[in-house]
Amino acid sequence: MHISELGEFQLIDRLTDSLTLINPSSEHGTGDDAAVLNYGTKRVLASTDILLEGIHFDLVYTPLKHLGYKAAVVNFSDIYAMNGEPKQLLVSLGISKRFTVEQVEEIYEGIRMACAKYGVDLVGGDTSSSLTGLTLSITCLGEGEPEKIVYRSGAKEHDLICVSGDLGAAYMGLQLLEREKRIFQSQNNPDFQPAFQGKEYLLERQLKPEARKDIVALLAEKGIIPTAMIDISDGLSSELLHLCRQSKAGCRVYEEKLPIDYQTAVQAEEFSMNLTTVALNGGEDYELLFTVPLNQHAILEKIEEIHIIGHVTGEDAGAALVTRDGQEVRLKAQGWTAFVPEDQNP
């Protein structure tokens, strides 16, 4: 069987289903944004990500400093998605011979900037030569209080489904970058200037995303502990299905409730793309998707950066989007997927 026939998440399930945790300190393994390790009064959260040149980033339009910053932040986001706080970072690099010392220093400058902003220590890592371009493998360690750690599996029927920020902007930023790259390559003009005026928000969301530390802090301030939570890396639809599967639940989300920035809407229209599809499947927003008990509604609806987009149902009801005209459309995981040809990813 070719890996693409199985898919990334099914492959992970196949590889990890039979794993047995034998150490008492291994409290929670695969299946969430981070593993949970028990070493005393607090829990250690551990998450890792790998970024490959040509798969996860394109150096034609990705500044090395931004790449370092983003690589660190997406790992921080996994820890925040567990309602924890990132503390340490380990960085491993695979470097081909075309890179200079100064370029590697640019990557590390971006990583250090992210660590400084989020209060994380860069504590180690590894470097190696590479025959296939640039590779970044980053592991983040964080802390969480046992009674406050949030998993993907805790959503209950009638819980509210919430999302922070807005959706689809990172994906539209990527489409904009890819369009200007094609124009640049077709013109073969060293003086080419990309048409990015007025699109700064979209570019920043793609090239320099931020983890939602502020949302975790705000929820704590309001005394709200989500019942389930995940960050939006592969697209809202994919993440909703993860939550539903882990929680053995269904959901209804409402098209009219999806938070979308004005620049995202304008860019989607310019590209003749369906805006709802962009919001559901774009990915790389690194917003927090979480569920909370229904009795928290009055508190949540007053918070500007948090949007109530639906509710949790029984498992038998399945996962669906309710369109503006009241029709129900089954949700499908159509976000970015590993192990498939690039032209088949949205």
CA–CA distance, 173 with 295 (Å, rounded to integer): 37
* Whole-Å CA distances, 304 to 32, 63, 169, 259, 300: 27, 32, 18, 11, 9
All CATH 3.30.1330.10 domain ranges in the chain, comma separated: 3-144
* Angle of CA points 103, 108, 112, to nearest 5°: 150
| Average pLDDT over every residue of 289-314 | 97
Point out the least confidently predicted range of 12-21, 79-88, 204-213, 243-252.
12-21
Q: Which residue has the higher pLDDT, 220 or 35?
A: 220
The whole-number pLDDT of residue 183 equals 92
Q: Which residue has the higher pLDDT, 17 or 126?
A: 126
Strongest mean pLDDT among 21-30, 298-307, 331-340: 298-307
The fold of 3-144 is 60s Ribosomal Protein L30; Chain: A; (3.30.1330)
CA–CA distance, 280 with 276 (Å, rounded to integer): 6
- To the nearest whole number, what is the mean pLDDT of the chain? 91
The whole-number pLDDT of residue 338 equals 46
CATH 3.30.420.40 holds for 160-344: no
User: In sequence order, what DSSP letters do the residues of 183-242 get, joined into one string?
Assistant: HHHHHT-TT-----TT-HHHHHHHHS----HHHHHHHHHTT---SEEEE-SS-HHHHHHH
* Whole-Å CA distances, 146 to 83, 155, 213, 342: 10, 18, 19, 40
The whole-number pLDDT of residue 339 equals 43
**% pLDDT > 70, the chain:** 89
Tens digits of residue pLDDT in 68-111: 999 999 999 999 999 999 999 999 999 999 999 999 999 999 99
Alpha helices, DSSP H, located in 17-162: 64-80, 101-118
CA–CA distance, 326 with 118 (Å, rounded to integer): 42
Tens digits of residue pLDDT in 125-135: 999 999 889 99
All CATH 3.90.650.10 domain ranges in the chain, comma separated: 160-344
